[in-house]
Structure 1
């Protein structure tokens, strides 16, 4: 993950730089967390998030590196990626760890998207395609996502991926976008991804849902938004036309 070790030149075991939300920033600043320098802090050479075609991969979602097995305790086994005794607001929202939700069933969903560009500087909203969604996340630390079986091999140097989340509520209406270097494994497919289109709010009418390859949701920023004035928060679930699991309709 970009910025997992902290900013360049420092090994930060108490790192929460990539965790902070993004709100009312220019596209230049929010894109792959440029405003905090994360787009210039790639993972170590040869370190990739592996995506087994037709299988699943597991990640750790946490509020700080210290609450993962990548921290000082490689045997960390907490259920939550933060405080193991969640603190709630007067309204009932889980605020520590800050999950922006009342419980797991009301957690809206998170996404991984992939671009077949090995340079983060060449990634665009149109070539960064949402390929997997997990409903009712984020909640627990260890979370698995499904991979479409027809994802082709990445180019030399790997693909560029991003994780995203739009909270349902319980706080500021912001968004999250984190960068990863990724590699598709175990594939024989030669199919190509279609150009990604902005998702559309369609909770009240499924015929309005965008079919095929979709962009991540970019929302509540100064520039670069691709969703405008939805009646409810645009989240990674059926509300915006995303199914749970592998997005198998993303190909040409």
Structure 2
């Protein structure tokens, strides 16, 4: 998404995605202290949700990669020359069972996977202290800011989710906008962070950065479960 109003880019409202919830009781399950696996693809036809399992390969699209003249993978459109340069993707969670009540402040990034997206099957780690969701589940979002290889944009895909195997009573802290800190780790935002909102007409939370604000150490995101996102987190142990 690029150059849209917040009303339109928020959970891909401009495509009606926020008005198409999954079937009742269908949740993305997040095992506390464990990991969960998803399929990242250009189209559901290339996933196990499609009609032909012969399309389920290593990549979430055609298995013979196509490249631009300048060396970027153009099909499937991975916005990178190779996996090493893939910047990273995240999942964020809001303890609101209605997507209409989700805000940037209560949608907290809880897991990061570096060097993605690349392969179709991708796993993410879950903080062990992530508490159970309210009745009706939580609202989650998958996010990606490509490093380059094409038009600058951002991705935000909504999911209904639930946390399993948790008895935690901890509460998530209010999420703060991440800050570019590649060259000065003291500037990295500690604790709960918002997703990166950039390249839009309004609603951005990142401004005037010297390079693409990606989901990795450039913006202060460590890889794996984000264990510092709770109200009582020991922020002194965060990136530095």
Same fold, TM exceeding 0.5? Answer: yes
2: CA distance between counterparts of 1:132 and 1:47?
21
Is it true that 1:56 corresponds to 2:35 in the alignment?
Answer: yes
Determine if the alignment matches structure 1 residue 95 to structure 2 residue 68: no
Alpha-carbon contact 1:219-1:226 (below 8 Å) kept: yes
Whether the 8 Å CA contact 1:194–1:251 is kept in 2: the answer is yes
TM-score normalised over the length of structure 2:
0.95
Write the distance in 1 (CA, Å) between the matches of 2:119 and 2:208: 30
| CA deviation after TM superposition for structure 1 residue 243, in Å | 0.4
Aligned to 2:20: 41
Give the superposition deviation at 1:75: 6.4
1:181-230 Cα offsets, whole Å, 9 max, x none, are 00000011000000000000000100000000000000000000000010
Q: Quote the Cα distance in structure 1 between the aligned partners of 2:189 and 2:26.
A: 34
Q: Which residue of 2 aligns with 1:208?
A: 187
Runs of 4+ in 1 over 6 A off after TM superposition: none
**1:115 maps to 2:89:** no
User: Per-residue displacement from partner, 1:18-52 (whole Å, max 9, x unpaired)?
Assistant: xxxx1000000000000010000011111000000
1:227 maps to what in 2? Answer: 206
Counterpart position of 1:143: 122
Is contact 1:69–1:75 with CA below 8 Å preserved after alignment? Answer: no
| TM norm structure 1 | 0.91
Task: Point out the more displaced range, 65-74 or 140-149.
Answer: 65-74
The residue number in structure 1 matching 2:49 is 70
Q: State the alpha-carbon separation in 1 of the partners of residues 34 and 113 from structure 2.
A: 14
Pairwise CA distance, 1:77: 3.2
- Partner-residue secondary structure (3-state), 2:143: strand
Match of 1:240 among 179, 195, 219: 219
- Using the alignment, how far apart are the partners of 2:33 and 2:135 within structure 1? 21
The number of residues matched between the two structures is 231
Structure 1: where are the runs of 5+ without partners? 1-21
Give the superposition deviation at 1:141.
0.2
Distance in 1, matches of 2:57 and 2:153, equals: 26
Partner of 1:170: 149
Q: Give the conservation status (yes or no) of the 8 Å contact 1:166–1:175.
A: yes
SS for the counterpart of 1:173 is coil
Q: How far apart, in 2, do the equivalents of 1:240 and 1:131 lie?
A: 15
For residue 250 of structure 1, the aligned residue among 218, 229, 233 is 229
